[in-house]
Amino acid sequence: MCGRYALTSNLDELQARFNFEARDLEYHPRYNIAPTQRSLVVTNDGSRRAQEMRWGLVPFWSKDIKVGSKMINAVGETASTKPAFRAAYKKRRCLVLANGFFEWLKDGKARIPYYLHLGGQPPFAFAGLWETWKSPDGMGEGETVKSFTILTTQPNRLIEPIHNRMPVILSQETEALWLDPMTEDSEILNKLLAPAPAEYMAGYQVSQVVNSPRNSGPECIQTVECVEPAASDGAPISFG
């Protein structure tokens, strides 16, 4: 699962890394992006374009935007066949830009937040799906909302002690294929939804300040004294 993440790079760095157009885009780094909030995604309709969408996919056929809060993630193994996601899986894939994400380790009654990222904390892309939804108002002029979801997969060795799922982090090589509007073969696309190699990732414990979506400053990703989680074999996982 991925329920919070951060996008901290500046716009110039993101444009250089992901090669997108950013017309009329009002962007600023954010350190604690939460469901139903708007965040930056990249789509491809012949050229790459960055735009802000609402986190939590609302299927085009839904009667209520609130359903999006239950669709912040899509299970990668079944997304191509689930009614809520299969049309977007074929036609409306996107890159969800991030520098890291949060997961909470259960320790008795406590939940300890960790910030997970690629080594060096460069920007990367989650595999995402997006939709356009128009609210039914009986007059044909309802609100139009673009929304997205993040696909998840099995955890790698780093994430497994904390959570049984992790978001799909695409490599630079697989980003182009994921975005390619001419690719619709689910067998090809499904192969991209693998866990990122643990050796390319790192993480550290952060403070409880990240628990509230009202907090969105740099303090959300500052390290605190770490309680090391244990791997499935009982050995501690190093977060370097």
> Looking at the DSSP assignment, which residues form a beta bridge with residue 39?
53
Q: Long-range contacts of range 187-190, CB-CB < 8 Å, 24 or more positions apart?
A: 189/80, 189/89, 189/93, 190/76, 190/77, 190/80
- Based on the residue annotation, tell me whether 226 is a catalytic residue of this protein: no
Gap between the Cα atoms of 38 and 211, Å rounded: 18
- Based on the residue annotation, tell me whether 2 is a catalytic residue of this protein: yes
Contacts of 237 (CB under 8 A, 6+ apart): 157, 158, 161, 228, 229, 230, 231
User: Which residue among 2, 131, 160, 220 is the active-site one?
Assistant: 2
User: Which residue among 103, 131, 160, 175 is the active-site one?
Assistant: 103
- The residues carrying an active-site annotation are 2, 103
